[in-house]
Structure 1
């Protein structure tokens, strides 16, 4: 059953138009414009600053600390086609405050203007930059995790595999309502959240015709999973990506990866960012923060 808070928001918001190339600019603008209403004003921190990670825009969130801080990258959702630093700013602030870790939000390039592999290449660039200069910023680059929601979770697990293969693995990965392989069977749910049409549009934008969607950088479940970092997967009961996300968590566990999967009852895709709307969002961020504290200690 949908949570009463979800039902109330759905009733007030109506049904959005299908996501197309023509409606994408309005969808992007709406995603950004509703941030204050959906997520609140954000938690005060010791410092928040914008910078450039070798050309990739990033935002660094620093909670109070007298010693070098562990770090967690955060990769925003939005189907590889929407979202940015501002849409997830309140979330990153709250996560930094609760986790005690510095959060580095990555403003990767968006599709369809910049299709695969632009986004994951930007993430790689930001990770390499942090490893190189993090000490100068007062960060402990020996303790680094990665997290993301939706398309950002997809990018996070691809980045985690790449980091493992380079011999500099992350300490943990957190995947919230992750997009996984394009062939994954979607959950049959009646939801005011993400719809199959919207997901198909996002796939077509990020990995258009001619791109092999079965390669590990697009189908993370097809990769060798052993040796990936301890993983928390969060899913939502009324999300078409619920079953694929939980299946990915099982595959990680079967490969010997310490993996935990938690389903938030009554919630929909994208609930995690909506701190001012859903009580479950704050609970989920607190769970992610606790995981980061444990794995980065």
Structure 2
């Protein structure tokens, strides 16, 4: 189901949002005020700041039965894999989660609580992976790495306590982009695909000429056009990369991809991307559950400690995951 967001004129753009999501933004602004804009810093500096600013949303949440870390070999370098086993785990399903951050920022540390929430809510093992970040790792390195990670998980699933046939793959923003791109690559090379895709406010086309970019790109709603441009230029090698279906999955063939759950924020520069991707997947015969959450912004799931809409989205995602891989 897709609907157009209700855009009204208001002096305070946050007045258009769910009040708890508006508070999420205000707290983020306060935490960020002591630092320069991230796009003005070097990527390593920006990553350190992101860890500090996001730390308030990582605190608390479910306690796991166990948390382990592994080094997964790839053609480039070994990647950090964090494995969460919840106390209420039932069955052998699992979710491989890719933290977003414009291919540049964020990690399993910034998304630690979100992954614990998914593990607890769905009663499944969650695996968080730190793929290599841009600009040190340009397109398409992360996709090749994640392809290798899936190969390794297929060989080591029993050791990690899950079944590869019940492995979902997903992520937010750039993590959603990389999920679809990796599934496309594996489909085209005849490899086993994940059982499902979880796409949280993903970036599916690197172009900027979209209504939602104009409506929501002023920076008031977490992700603005300046940061989008910085992320994109960190990730691509040349402008031609923007047209590559593995960089802009909306431009690629969707048939044969796994079923998808999409959590869509209605006040997000990536809103149009998500609506278009849901439509394209459905037209290609892929099962899609696309939920639009009113009054929300990019990254809203991280507000689960203060926002009922974030907790509802996590719960609805968990219900969907249980139906397919639980």
The two structures have a TM-score, normalised by structure 1, of: 0.92
Aligned-residue CA RMSD (Å): 2.1
Q: Distance in 1 between matches of 2:51 and 2:122?
A: 25
2:265 aligned with 1:241, yes or no?
Answer: no
Q: Distance in 2 between matches of 1:174 and 1:118?
A: 21
Structure richer in helix, relative to its length = 2
**Cα distance, 1:60–1:23 mapped onto 2, change above 3 Å:** same
Q: Distance in 2 between matches of 1:180 and 1:167?
A: 22
Q: What is the CA-CA distance between 1:192 and the residue it aligns to?
A: 2.8
Contact kept? 1:19, 1:197, Cα under 8 Å: no
* Equivalent residue number for residue 204 of structure 1: 233
Q: Distance in 2 between matches of 1:49 and 1:68?
A: 19
2:311 aligned with 1:282, yes or no?
Answer: yes
Q: Distance in 2 between matches of 1:285 and 1:68?
A: 19
Runs of 4+ in 1 over 6 A off after TM superposition: none
Q: Distance in 2 between matches of 1:66 and 1:232?
A: 21
The SS at the match of 1:142 is: helix
Structure 2 gap ranges (5+) = 1-15
Q: What is the CA-CA distance between 1:63 and the residue it aligns to?
A: 2.1
Contact kept? 1:38, 1:277, Cα under 8 Å: no
Contact kept? 2:122, 2:319, Cα under 8 Å: yes
Contact kept? 1:39, 1:275, Cα under 8 Å: no
Structure 1 gap ranges (5+) = none
* Equivalent residue number for residue 194 of structure 1: 223
Contact kept? 1:81, 1:110, Cα under 8 Å: yes
Contact kept? 1:68, 1:138, Cα under 8 Å: no
Contact kept? 1:40, 1:275, Cα under 8 Å: no
Contact kept? 2:167, 2:194, Cα under 8 Å: yes
> How many pairs does the alignment contain?
297
1:92-171 equivalences in 2 (<5 Å): 92-165=115-188, 166-171=190-195
Q: What is the CA-CA distance between 1:21 and the residue it aligns to?
A: 5.2
Q: What is the CA-CA distance between 1:26 and the residue it aligns to?
A: 4.3
The partner residue of 2:53 within 30, 34, 39 is 34
2:68 aligned with 1:49, yes or no?
Answer: yes
